[in-house]
Amino acid sequence: MTLTASEVHKMKYAQPSTDGVLPVILERWSPRAFTDRDVSQADLKKIFEAARWAPSSFNEQPWRFIVGRRNSETYKKIAATLVPANQAWAQNAPVLVLSVAKTRFSHNDSPNGYGVHDLGAADGFITLQAASMGIATHQMAGFDQAKAREVFEIPEVYAIGSVMALGYQGDPSTLGEHYQGQEQSPRSRKPLSEIVLSGWDQPADLG
């Protein structure tokens, strides 16, 4: 039996190992099913304003976001870089975003080894701001980075990040059988003892 979008969203709500986690973090997840509802320009502006205030080394703000709205040339170019498996579902999202990060500091042109890290922080702000507005996001690694660099003429000083689909969650029935199963599977995460350490392979004592 295929669940509705609202049933899936409720089922995906995370079960934290401790109290007090912000609700927007617990409700954020990465659907593949999207409706054909457009995201307004005003809402997109709010989402990227959140990214603007992410932390970065030396306040470099190395992130750049190439944003394509459905039917635009930018959208078509981003979609064309996706691997076929991602094209199959991502083409239903109303917005596709290609993110990149500058790898040299602007103030002295020295290498910035943290640009991609800072881009990830900005992407995280995007996903949480969007989730707080009822807008879903799904970040993808499955795309041709070289093609993306070519079609957008991205300078070599910028590292390619990810492609993000952004829009409103749809019903799993719009997906192929394989992805329907993933869409309706419960979420899971590694325990804190595996990721929070006091030494290598030594879990930190969090009480």
Q: Give the mean pLDDT of 106-133.
A: 98
Could you count the other beta carbons within 10 Å of the beta carbon of residue 26?
15
At residue 106, the pLDDT reads: 97
Provide φ and ψ at 154, rounded to 5°. Answer: -80, 125
Residue 1: pLDDT over 80? no
Cβ-count burial 131-146 (b if 16+ within 10 Å, e if not): bbeebbbbbbeebebe
Residue 136: pLDDT over 70? yes
At residue 2, the pLDDT reads: 82
C-alpha R_g of the chain: 18
Residue 57: pLDDT over 70? yes
Domain(s) of CATH 3.40.109.10: residues in the chain: 34-168
Give rounded-to-5 percent helix, strand, coil for the chain. 40, 20, 40
Alpha helices in the chain (DSSP H): 5-12, 23-27, 41-52, 73-81, 84-90, 115-132, 145-152, 177-183, 192-195
In whole angstroms, give the CA distance from residue 143 to residue 171. 24
At residue 23, the pLDDT reads: 96
pLDDT tens digits, one per residue of 78-103: 999 999 999 999 999 999 999 999 99
The CATH architecture to which 34-168 belongs is 3-Layer(aba) Sandwich (3.40)
